[in-house]
Chains A and B, each alone.
Chain A
């Protein structure tokens, strides 16, 4: 994405070398088929669990009258959160003008698309009567944050898809003419999706303008999506949810889990797709620094979120916080906060920890912690209502997810992995034209004294 306003069109040699590197992993090889087969079988097993839920109803889950939002909603919040990274990398950093994000911007978009797409499905898995899903649109109440959430998740998904597709157009045209060992139907797909891209000046002009609109548009949308998700909780009067900072608290938490997800994906692509010269150690260093920054901000909101009610210890807040700090959820709470936030944040301050492998390992802890954190936000509050729980069986007191429920949740994670796999094995994961353009900039600067003609737009059309 060109933000300097000046356009550099890469010459054929640069395009050649970059595209051959980046297009190499774009093929349906044996490991792809094995991996997809494994995911497919696992998905079928998990979908079987869903047929049980469809037949028997939500009674097969651990959800009861008091804890009616469980693992599904926690997982939904996690998915929405993780998908926000697309906005942070492409839009915020991109519009500021950081060009180092160019090779990893598409990875962030893939994660955004995959998580946002499946988030909607996760909501359906939480419905006892999924056949009534259309009622949300037919009878949805405009007053309800649930309707706003549906609106904004859909909008964000469409925006992310467009932000994935538009910068892909030139690459699709390149892939169409350069990929040899791919089936004919795939070439056809490239042909259709490339919207007759011929690298003309006019097309670039339209493309840059459209991307710029999307980049600006996606910032408020992404803020809205997670703020509204936080309102699903914060507009209710319950200890643990009744908070005015829930919007920014969720938003910063989202950046933490998303950044970790991108680092893990970068590590995978760098090694398995052999893209070491594109996704460099420097990228890990920068992303890890970003992770420290967002973690510090998130840590700050955590202190606010727990210290202020913890200082006042009002009757019902006290019951809730006691369960988190020293009671039933204490182990989960402290291990999540320490292993998933505080320790990673401190470790990443050291340069050695920001190298690819340690950064990726730390990111795994961060993302696991991020999932657990959503669990801590969603479930304990419901176990501590204002009115005493009575006249119910004892096992309704405390929420315990069942195996069926866990399998269905796992299905959503498998779906995300499948979408990421398919996208990254079908389309280039690093933007060829933008990386080539960056290289050209460097070359152009070095050789400007030697009388090179910078207008090489025709060279890209082979």
Chain B
């Protein structure tokens, strides 16, 4: 298997990320699923694998069927799709881990000499909790948010220790991470300091998402909580005054006046001419009677 060799590229991937393996064995089903994902997300730059019809960008995206990409380990390909770099976008928020692995499966289907190694050891660890939940509590005095992660272990909720956790505030476009990634202690707890000057909505509400970082192990575990910790947003709403972007009723006056007056003037003349036609008709009628 050539995949585990370290590659001689500028894009460095750390050793442990390189060694990472897919949690399931690639089969026809995963290849088909991967093909569909590839056609929606990757084809626009990388082209059809094996045909070399990728976009001429700088750096060259490359054909996934070629040695350049196939010489990467499974973990490296996964990492590069997950993280992205430069023009290559990050797919961490677009594709789930399993989906990224399916794309890897599709890319590998163009390599006849490829033999997959499946990460069986990792899967065994995952059986301790059947369900995991995160609880976020507010400690206003210390400006702290405390998350408690608990898992259901044979009908009992027990703490989930030593696992990575992040808290992020929802913004207009994407999320703003609060503090750093923290590991839970033996009680399954981790604390995050939030900034005083974070902006909230008109009531000061901030919507927070707490999320476990190790998605391979736990899947996507996250909880949304809203706290009143932000500054009041007292900016005037953009649709309050007359403006070009507002509704018809709040259109700029100059626009309404010019539109209506021009239309009225032109159509006034049109109706005047139509009235003249009527006059022509009656003049002719009078003439024929005479």
List residues of chain A with CB under 8 Å of any chain B CB. Answer: 141-143, 148, 151, 155, 158-159, 162, 166, 169, 195-198, 200, 202-203, 206-207, 209-210, 213-214, 217, 221, 388-394, 396-397
Contacts and interface: CB of A to CB of B under 8 A. Distances in A.
A391 B277 contact: no
B270 A159 contact: yes
B256 A142 contact: yes
A302 B288 CA distance: 57
B44 A200 contact: no
B284 A148 contact: no
B103 to A, nearest CB: 13
B112 to A, nearest CB: 25
A183 B20 CA distance: 88
Q: Is the interface of A mostly helix, strand, loop or mixed?
A: helix
A193 to B, nearest CB: 10
Interface string B235-252: 000000000110110011
Contacts of B14: none
A197 B248 CA distance: 46
A246 B240 CA distance: 33
The 5 residue pairs across chains A and B that have the minimum distance between CB atoms: A196-B284, A210-B276, A195-B281, A394-B43, A198-B287
A391 B269 contact: no
B251 A207 contact: no
Contact of A196 (B40, B269, B273, B288): B288
B218 interface: no
Contacts of A195: 277, 280-281, 284
Contact of A213 (B89, B247, B256, B269): B269
A206 B276 contact: yes
Contacts of B87: 388
B267 interface: yes
B44 A393 contact: yes
Interface string B263-278: 1001101101110110
B244 A198 contact: no
Contact of B283 (A142, A200, A209): A200
B7 interface: no
Nearest to B285: A196
Contacts of B287: 196, 198, 200, 203
B283 A392 contact: no
Interface string B78-95: 000000000101000010
B255 interface: yes
Given A141-B248, A142-B255, A151-B263, A197 B280 contact: yes
A270 B124 CA distance: 90
Contacts of A392: 40, 44
A159 B267 CA distance: 10
Contact of A142 (B40, B245, B259): B259
B152 interface: no
B39 interface: yes
Contacts of A159: 270
Residue with the greatest number of chain A CB neighbours at <10 A, chosen from B45, B263, B283: B283
A151 B287 CA distance: 39
B188 interface: no
B271 to A, nearest CB: 10
A39 B69 CA distance: 57
Nearest to B284: A196
A135 to B, nearest CB: 13
Contacts of A389: 44
B41 interface: yes
6 contacts: A158-B270, A196-B281, A200-B284, A391-B40, A393-B40, A394-B53
B45 A390 contact: yes
Interface of B: 39-41, 43-45, 47-48, 53, 87, 89, 94, 244-245, 247-248, 251-252, 255-256, 259, 263, 266-267, 269-270, 272-274, 276-277, 279-285, 287-288
Nearest to B251: A142
Given A196-B287, A392-B44, 16 more contacts: A142-B248, A151-B263, A155-B263, A195-B277, A195-B284, A197-B280, A200-B287, A203-B283, A206-B279, A213-B269, A217-B270, A388-B87, A391-B40, A391-B44, A393-B40, A396-B44
Given A206-B279, A210-B276, A391 B41 contact: yes
A388 B287 CA distance: 73
A209 B39 contact: no
Given A198-B287, A394-B43, A206 B266 contact: no
A217 B273 CA distance: 11
B43 A393 contact: yes
Contacts of B43: 393-394
Contacts of A393: 39-40, 43-44
B88 to A, nearest CB: 10
Given A217-B266, A391-B40, A391-B41, A148 B259 contact: yes
Nearest to B87: A388
Nearest to B245: A143
A141 B269 CA distance: 25
Given A143-B255, A196-B285, A198-B284, A391 B276 contact: no
A391 B87 CA distance: 13
Residue with the greatest number of chain B CB neighbours at <10 A, chosen from A213, A388, A390: A390
A206 B44 contact: no
Contacts of A202: 283
Contacts of B280: 169, 195-197, 203, 206-207
Contacts of A155: 263, 266-267, 270
Nearest to A163: B273
A155 B270 CA distance: 9
Contacts of B283: 196, 198, 200, 202-203, 206
Nearest to A397: B44
A32 B97 CA distance: 69
Nearest to B263: A151
Contacts of B39: 393-394
Nearest to A201: B283
Given A203-B284, A390-B45, A391-B44, A210 B273 contact: yes
B83 to A, nearest CB: 16
B273 A197 contact: no
B67 to A, nearest CB: 23
Contacts of A197: 280, 284
Contact of B94 (A169, A214, A391): A391
Contact of B277 (A141, A210, A221, A396): A210
Nearest to A156: B266
B14 to A, nearest CB: 26
A258 to B, nearest CB: 21
A134 B255 CA distance: 22
Contacts of A200: 283-284, 287
Contacts of B288: 196, 198
Residue with the greatest number of chain B CB neighbours at <10 A, chosen from A142, A148, A392: A142
